[in-house]
Structure 1
Amino acid sequence: MTKRNVIIGFLGTQLDSGDGPGRWEKWRPTVSLGMHEDFIAHRIELLLDERRYAKLLKRVVDDLAQVAPETQVRVHDTRLDDPWDFESVYACVHDFCENYPFDVDHEEYFLHITTGTHVVQICLFLVAESRRFPGRLLQASPPRKQTAGDPGSFNLIDLDLSKYDRIAQRFAREQQEDRAFLKSGIATRNPAFNRLIEEIEVVAIRSNAPILLMGPTGAGKSQLARRVFELKKLKHQLPGGFVEVNCATLRGDGAMSALFGHVKGAYTGAGSDRAGLLRSAHRGLLFLDEIGELGPDEQAMLLRALEDKRFLPVGGDRETESDFQLIAGTNRDLGQRVAEGRFRDDLYARLNLWTFQLPGLAQRREDLEPNLDYELDRHARAQNQRVMFNREARDAYLRFATSPEASWHGNFRDLGASVMRMATFATAGRIQREAVDDEIARLRRLWRPSGEGADALVALLGEAAADVDRFDAVQLRDVVAVCRRSRSLSEAGRELFAASRAKRTSTNDADRLRKYLARFGLDFDRVSRG
């Protein structure tokens, strides 16, 4: 069964106008819809303000009846006080589509986008693109030379981009390029991290809400925030600049002034006005690293600035405006700090809309090799000299770097510093095995636990630490810590087995501890020396 064609559009108060016999010499888009031999308009739904355009409406309806008696015209009285006001026009179009009894099984629908203001045409496009309107766009065009009876031409536009392979491929390619841009061009292999970047790319492009980046120090929060800014800059979404501050460096009275500015004479030493970081970030991006270190007063002011885009400079009585996007970074558990009363729950709720947990380098060991290449490239750009590993040296370094022994406490800061050291000592632009061995020894010393560190087992057992079950590892670390602060095997045994001693008739805590350590190939002297 052939479906009926239904066209929905606004009456053109200018293009559809005309009176007297001369009107037939003029191309009128709505009237032309009924004049095409190869396209029958079974029904036209006309939207207009009948109060103002009743006479024009009658003329158009009568002329349509004359040229296309089979076309039914239905009128919808649309009260638009300002057809250039985007909010009211979109609400009108949206409500019409929501309430219209579409019958897609029996009717084909078209939105006529030739008539109406530019705002009207944009809103028609948006409801079609969002799939609130189950049909296609119809664009009518006048003939090259207007003559009586010439309906011109029309073009049907289907916004289902999945049908257009080249467009779909282009969008997919641009999306991949954006994600590679956020990763600084590093071909990361960790699936969880790659999914994280995909989510951040979507949020960065589509949202201006605050973003919270959580993760350990050196995990790349600052670099990622800057890449988000540069991506939005490329998309012409942020005309302003990038402003970065580590909140841990803001202390005392200077914290409020640094963030929110001050007026001249606000306090001793305030010899002139100061804009402050929030004002400097107007229409740009503000990155507040270690936001968990902000004091309660700064948190309250920041919350108001986020919600109202306004705040008072220190010592001022006139508010300052600043419309910025915020990215916050922290290596703290802000939820825990809220529970402890050290961070405002309302500010945390405001920041927690888009929260992303960046993994440390130790959780992304498969990404060490591509990041190693990135650090070598970065060193080459900075020093204008290319340095490479020889094969044996590269393999040795990667074996260590990806092993459980490498804790990467400082994450990418440790990796960058490590590469810089090896590149500095490279001979004739080549990093040799000897330089790698020296660097591995240096990193072992750097990561050597001071006593109760999480990697005490690695220092004692080496690669065998990876074979210890996690339950046993928790207990063994505590035993090692007690041994290191005890003067003798007996003293350590008494502390470790104090709770169970009273329940036994005979005790030999030292022997019990000796046997426990022996299970892991350890003895008290070795453990206590560290």
Structure 2
Amino acid sequence: MKKRIVVIGFVGTQLDAGKAAGRWERWRPSVAITQHPDVVVDRFELLYSGRFGELAQAVAADMATVSPETEVVLRDVPMDDPWDFEQVYSALYDFAQSYRFDTENEEYWIHITTGTHVVQICLFLMTEAFYFPGRLLQTSPPRRMGPGEPGSFVLIDLDLSKYDRIAQRFSREQEEGVAFLKSGIATRNARFNTMIDEIERVAIRSKAPMLLMGPTGAGKSFLARRVYELKRARHQIDGRFVEINCATLHGDGAGSTLFGHIKGSFTGASSDRPGLLRAAHKGLLFLDEIGELGLDEQAMLLKAVEEKRFLPVGGDHEVQSDFQLIAGTNRDLAHEVAAGRFREDLFARINLWTYELPGLVDRPEDIEPNIDYLLQQVGAEQGQMARFNKEARERYMRYAASPDAAWSGNFRDLSASVTRMVTLAEAGRINDDIVSGELARLQRQWRPQQKPAEFDLESVMSPEAFAALDLFDAMQLRSVIQICRTSKSLSDAGRKLYAISRETKAKPNDADRLKKYLTRFGLDWETIAR
């Protein structure tokens, strides 16, 4: 089905003006768009500001004369100064956010020939940033003026590579998108920030499946929802955000929940059920813990992702659903494929954009900004904003970033901890007593995880070297090796072991300090890690 053509553009206060009969001898850009014999404009959204309403009405009347089939909709876009960038951009942004774009049935042309230069620049930038989901329309006067001469027009698709020189990413919009994905949290971890930068670009440009890996509580569900909200704000998605934890799906109910069923297809199926995939039509489906899905459901999901159609349980006729998939897992799916528990073809299909979200212990520098964010969130929910006093804050932060803090539940543990302290805060002050109680609670909660089996030093040292160790050195070395074996690199282990003393050094070299310590006992990182 051919899409309806909708033009969006400002009335030209000079170029479109004219009242006498002689106006038809002139080229007027907005009217001329509707005069092309081979183009039918179904609707023209004619924007104007305040005092130019009368001119807009006159231009609309002339459009109706030359193109009765064109519906002209007058839109007052308030701005005091059309040469003020901030005013113009804000006015157009508000218009774009409130306008109901229907990209499935309508094609949008954004006219950039009329309006002030500032208006034209803002229209370009907002189309390039997908706030206006369409193509730029540039019109030109005819070589020879005469009645009914519409001139020429060019459509510019900013998605095409040949326009790369003029379609540079608008840095402010990209930065806003990244900040949106992080909920405005000023995260400091370089690896995490680089990952979010790429996710923002992929979310805007691609509809392909995305795979989010990471431990429980690392924020996979939260990030998936933010991706959905970002795409919805850019008019790239219209449907719902649908989320399901696949670990809750068992037996026959798994297929029914995901793909729906037909009435009478099994005992208890008293009516038709559409299923979650159909509920996510034109939206985003987040399947958390996708590794828990059964092999039959995996095969049906692969067909649904690739062909946008599938059979409901007990059905004879395929149904359709066009959704974007984001999958989450805390398993190593490559290992699951090798073990025969996950389909290789499905893994290949969802493994195009794969991101591993680090746990909280791998992002100690991000604990503080996340605590500040949680203080605001929990305070708003409870109607009482809370703050640490200086000593209490320093003590909590020192423990939170130390190797003693397991953060096994990651951000769920952190959120629960902040919630408890805010709830107990009298007059909004989190003091040292509240922090003492909270740290004791966290230590009790993590105690089973803080007592790993004692490391056998003889497995990495010769009997002679082990026999020469003082008890003090042996106990200290065991603790150091335990930290090393739970760290990703020599530098990571060094940061954990020297978290306090490194703050006093202008150029801390944690890896070098740890390497020298291990060398004293004839050990190296490769031996320990192995």
Scaled to the shorter chain, the TM-score interval is 0.5 to 0.7
Following TM superposition, the consecutive aligned residue runs of length 4 or more in structure 1 with deviations greater than 6 angstroms are 25-28, 150-155, 159-164, 511-514
For 1:33, the equivalent position in structure 2 comes to none
- Note if 1:141 corresponds to 2:118: no
Q: Which residue of 2 aligns with 1:520?
A: 474
Match status 1:386 vs 2:385: yes
Shift in CA distance, 386/161, structure 1 to aligned 2, threshold 3 Å: farther
Taking the TM superposition and a 5 Å limit, the aligned residue runs for 1:20-35 are none
**In structure 1, what is the equivalent of residue 189 of structure 2?**
190
Question: Quick check: which has more Rg, 1 or 2?
Answer: 1
Task: Report the equivalent of 1:327.
Answer: 326
Q: Distance in 1 between matches of 2:309 and 2:138?
A: 45
Amino acid at match of 1:380: G
Q: Answer yes or no: is the 8 Å Cα contact 2:298–2:343 preserved in 1.
A: yes
Distance 1:163 1:263 in 2: 53
Cα gap change, 1:279 to 1:389, in 2 (>3 Å):
same
2:337 is matched by which residue type in structure 1? V
What's 1:7 paired with? none
Give the CA deviation at 1:513: 8.3
2:431 aligned with 1:432 = yes
CA pair 427-261 structure 1, distance change in 2 beyond 3 A: same
Aligned-pair CA distance for 1:143: 7.9
1:274–1:405 CA distance, 2 compared to 1 (3 A):
same
SS at match of 1:449: helix
Inter-CA distance 400–303: structure 2 relative to 1 (3 Å threshold): same
Query: Take 2:419 and 2:468, find their aligned partners in 1: how far apart are those partners?
Result: 44
Whether the aligned pair in 2 keeps the contact of 1:262 and 1:313 (CA below 8 Å) is: yes
Matched AA of 1:350? R
* 1:479 and 2:464 correspond: no
8 A contact 2:281–2:321 mirrored in 1? yes
Relative to structure 1, the CA distance from residue 430 to residue 27 in structure 2 (aligned partners, 3 Å threshold; closer, same or farther) is closer
1:517 Cα offset (Å):
5.5
Change in Cα spacing, 1:424 to 1:139, as seen in structure 2 (3 Å) is closer
Cα distance in 2 for partners of 1:371, 1:322 equals 37
| Per-residue deviation, 1:479 | 3.3
| TM-score, normalised via structure 2 length | 0.59
Distance 1:427 1:319 in 2: 60
Counterpart for residue 398 of structure 2: 399
Q: Distance in 1 between matches of 2:213 and 2:402?
A: 25
Distance 2:209 2:279 in 1: 17
Matched, 1:243 2:238: no
Q: Deviations over 1:153-193 (max 9, x none)?
A: 999x9x999988xx96x811111000000001111111111
Q: 1:295–1:323: structure 2 CA closer, same or farther, 3 Å change rule?
A: same
Query: Could you tell me how far 1:456 is from its partner in structure 2?
Result: 3.1
For 1:456, the equivalent position in structure 2 comes to 451
Offset of 1:521 from its aligned partner? 3.4
- CA distance change for structure 1 residues 253 and 517 in 2, over 3 Å: closer, same or farther? farther
Partners of 1:347 and 1:154 lie apart in 2 by 46
Matched-pair contact (CA < 8 Å) for 1:241–1:283: yes
Structure 1 residue 329: deviation in Å? 0.3
Measured against aligned partners, the alpha-carbon deviations of 1:353-411 in whole angstroms (never above 9, x if no partner) come to 00011111111111111100111111012112211111111111001111111121111
Q: Which residue of 1 aligns with 2:173?
A: 174
CA distance in 2, matches of 1:417, 1:314: 40
> Retained in 2: the 8 A contact 1:313–1:319?
yes
Q: Deviations over 1:277-334 (max 9, x none)?
A: 1010011000000000000011000001011111111111111111100000000000
Match of 1:290 in 2: 289
> In 2, Cα distance between the equivalents of 1:152 and 1:238?
36
Question: How far off its partner does 1:350 sit?
Answer: 0.1
1:304 matched to which residue of 2? 303
Q: Given residue 319 of structure 1, which amino acid in structure 2 is its aligned partner?
A: E
Residue 478 of structure 1: CA displacement?
3.7
Q: Are residues 364 and 323 of structure 1, via their aligned partners in 2, closer, same or farther at CA, if it must alter by over 3 Å?
A: same
1:116-131 alignment runs, 5 A limit: none
1:142 CA displacement: 3.4
Q: CA deviation at 1:449?
A: 2.7
Checking the alignment, whether the CA contact within 8 Å between 1:397 and 1:436 is kept in structure 2 is: yes
Structure 1 residues 27 and 143: CA distance shift in structure 2, 3 A: farther
Q: Which residue of 1 aligns with 2:95?
A: none
Matches within 5 A, 1:9-408: 140-142=140-142, 146=146, 171-408=170-407
Q: Structure 2: which amino acid aligns with 1:141?
A: P
SS in 2 for 1:448: helix
Query: Structure 2: 5+ residue runs without aligned partners?
Result: 1-23, 28-105, 111-127, 129-136, 479-530
Whether the aligned pair in 2 keeps the contact of 1:517 and 1:523 (CA below 8 Å) is no
Q: Secondary structure in 2 aligned to 1:520?
A: helix
- TM-aligned CA deviation for residue 138 of structure 1: 8.5
Partner of 2:456, secondary structure, is helix
Separation in structure 1 between the aligned mates of residue 165 and residue 299 of structure 2, nearest angstrom = 50
Q: Is the 8 A contact 1:309 1:321 kept in 2?
A: yes
Distance 1:344 1:163 in 2: 43
**C-alpha contact (below 8 Å) 2:25/2:145 kept by paired residues:** no
CA distance in 2 between counterparts of 1:438 and 1:265 reads 57
Mapped to 1, the partners of 2:287 and 2:413 lie a distance apart of: 22
1:516 positional shift:
7.6
- CA–CA distance in 2 between the matches of 1:154 and 1:347? 46
Aligned in 2, Cα 1:177/1:435: closer, same or farther, shift over 3 Å? Answer: same
Aligned mates of 1:436, 1:223 — CA distance in 2: 27
- Structure 1's unaligned 5+ residue stretches are 1-24, 29-117, 123-128, 130-136, 458-475, 481-492, 501-507, 525-530
Shift of 1:512: 6.9
Summarize the Cα distance change of 1:302–1:163 in structure 2 as closer, same or farther, 3 Å threshold: closer
Name the % identity: 60
Q: In the alignment, what sits opposite 1:446?
A: 445
The question of whether the paired residues in 2 share the 8 Å contact of 1:140 and 1:153 is answered with yes
**Alpha-carbon separation, structure 1, partners of 2:470 and 2:250:** 49
How many angstroms apart in 2 are the aligned matches of 1:415 and 1:392? 19
Equivalent residue for 1:82? none
Instruction: Answer whether contact 2:379 2:422 (CA < 8 A) is retained.
Output: no
Q: Which amino acid aligns with 2:213?
A: M
Q: Is this contact kept in 2: 1:27–1:151, CA < 8 A? A: no
Q: Secondary structure of 2:475's match?
A: coil
Q: Aligned equivalents of 2:471 and 2:269: distance in 1?
A: 63
Asked if the contact 1:143–1:151 (Cα under 8 Å) also holds between the matched residues in 2, the reply is: no
Structure 2 Cα separation of the partners of residues 516 and 247 of structure 1: 52
Residues 1:520 and 1:238: Cα distance change in structure 2 (over 3 Å): same
DSSP 3-state at the match of 1:373: helix
Amino acid at match of 2:475: G
Q: How many residues align?
A: 354
